[in-house]
Amino acid sequence: MRFLIVTHAIHKSVENKIFSYEPYVREMNLWGKYVKNIKIVSPVSQESISSIESSYTHKNIILSKVPKFNILNTYDILKTTFKIPVICIQIFKGMLWADHIHLRCPGNIALLGCFIQVLFPFKPKTIKYAGNWDPDSKQPLSYRVQKKILANTFLTRNCKVLVYGEWPNQSKNIIPFFTASYTVNEIESIHKKGLSKRIHFIYVGSFSEGKQPLLSVKTIENLIKNGYDVQLDMYGNGQKFIEVKNYIAKKSLEKNIVLHGNQTKEIVKEAFKKSHFLIFISKSEGWPKVVAEAMFWKCLPICSNVSCVSYMLNDGKRGTVLNSNSNACQVENAIIEYLKDETLYQKKVMNAQKWSQKYTLDTFEHEIKKMINIE
């Protein structure tokens, strides 16, 4: 089978190996196990490999480079008018070549792919929509356009659109799906995490405005002021990193809050194992894998009600679901509820772990085989 991937994910080619963002590559390696040849249409970077990138394991991969583009201002729009024809030609040629078309949405490259796939109604397709499928959420126009095209069974035929969560009144194209991070063999016994000593918190994600990392810092600051012995370990990087770092220094919080930057999957896994709570009050999510990962290791999530988070946490039975506009005091109060009632904490931790450990990479791989009709 010739398998085409159309994605906005940045790829890098080094010493005959192709690298990209590790969680994405980990998933695509599972798809690749069941196809003979892969072609990737994506932007390509010449930068060095980072700690959060890994390589494809497939031996027969063609990387078809296309330029990145955006339409944030007039100058970008002007440049984009010259780039789009080049990208469309590459996507069209890839779809002609492929036996199976796989789009990674949402994204600017995938937006063009959504239009071009209409010309191939008889070719089987899978589309991984890694964003928020909630019909009531406010999203950019390009995201809404992609969702409309993908849900339309006349425009998008012979296709399975994999979305996070279960939503009412969906077309037959739309299939609830999930993302996994760990195998069955990685499941291990985690000691009971009591709340009588120092309480460990973790933040994992990009340091962006939408992920609100400073809110996690201010929550810990409030807990310290109220006499709680707490520590926050933060993993990730981004445009808000310096702002967060400066705030920690200004408030003399270095003994309680540690910035680790981007780290490997194994380092973050060990951090989850020793942490009591995940604080993740994001304004936008697809399938928040860090939430599922935290639950896997008995780390209770304190999260915002975006995308399928309420579904994942069973409306609060496997953690706490807050409004994404919650302030530090509201997040703190949610945490204190558990610090005053360890029985409640332990009950939800067990509920969370039991649910999360059903969604392993083994189960994920089994579902992928069905998606590309391999039994």
- What distance, in Å, lies between the first and last C-alpha atoms of the chain? 15
**CA 215/CA 218 separation, integer angstroms:** 5
Q: What was the pLDDT predicted at 153?
A: 96
Helix spans in the chain (H): 22-32, 74-97, 108-116, 141-151, 213-225, 241-250, 265-274, 289-296, 309-312, 328-339, 342-356, 361-371
- Going by their DSSP bridges, the two strands 12-14 and 17-21 should be labelled as antiparallel
Strand partners, 18: 13
**Interatomic CA distance for residues 27 and 359, integer angstroms:** 13
Q: Check if the beta carbon of residue 113 is closer than 8 Å to that of residue 6.
A: yes
Residue 68 confidence (pLDDT) = 83
Give the Cα-Cα-Cα angle 62, 67, 73 (nearest 5 degrees).
Answer: 155
Separation of alpha carbons 264 and 266, rounded Å:
5
- What is the distance between the alpha carbons of residues 298 and 139, in angstroms, rounded to a whole number? 32
Phi, psi dihedrals of residue 289, rounded to the nearest 5°: -65, -30
- Quote the pLDDT of residue 375: 43
Spacing of C-alpha 106 from chain mean position: 12
pLDDT on residue 307 = 82
User: What domains lie within the chain, and their CATH numbers?
Assistant: 2-180+360-371 (3.40.50.2000), 185-356 (3.40.50.2000)
The DSSP result for 58-82, as a single string, is -S-EEEEE------SSHHHHHHHHH
Q: β-strand 230-235 against 199-204: which pairing, if any?
A: parallel
Per-position pLDDT tens, the chain of length 375: 999 999 999 999 999 899 999 989 999 999 999 999 999 999 999 999 998 899 999 999 999 999 987 766 666 677 778 889 999 999 999 999 999 999 999 999 999 999 999 999 999 999 999 888 988 888 888 899 999 999 999 999 999 999 988 888 999 999 988 888 899 999 999 999 999 999 999 999 999 999 999 999 999 999 999 999 999 999 999 999 999 999 999 999 999 999 999 998 899 999 999 999 999 999 876 567 899 999 999 999 999 988 888 889 999 999 999 998 999 999 999 999 999 999 999 999 999 999 999 989 999 899 898 888 754
Q: What is the pTM (predicted TM-score) of this model? A: 0.83
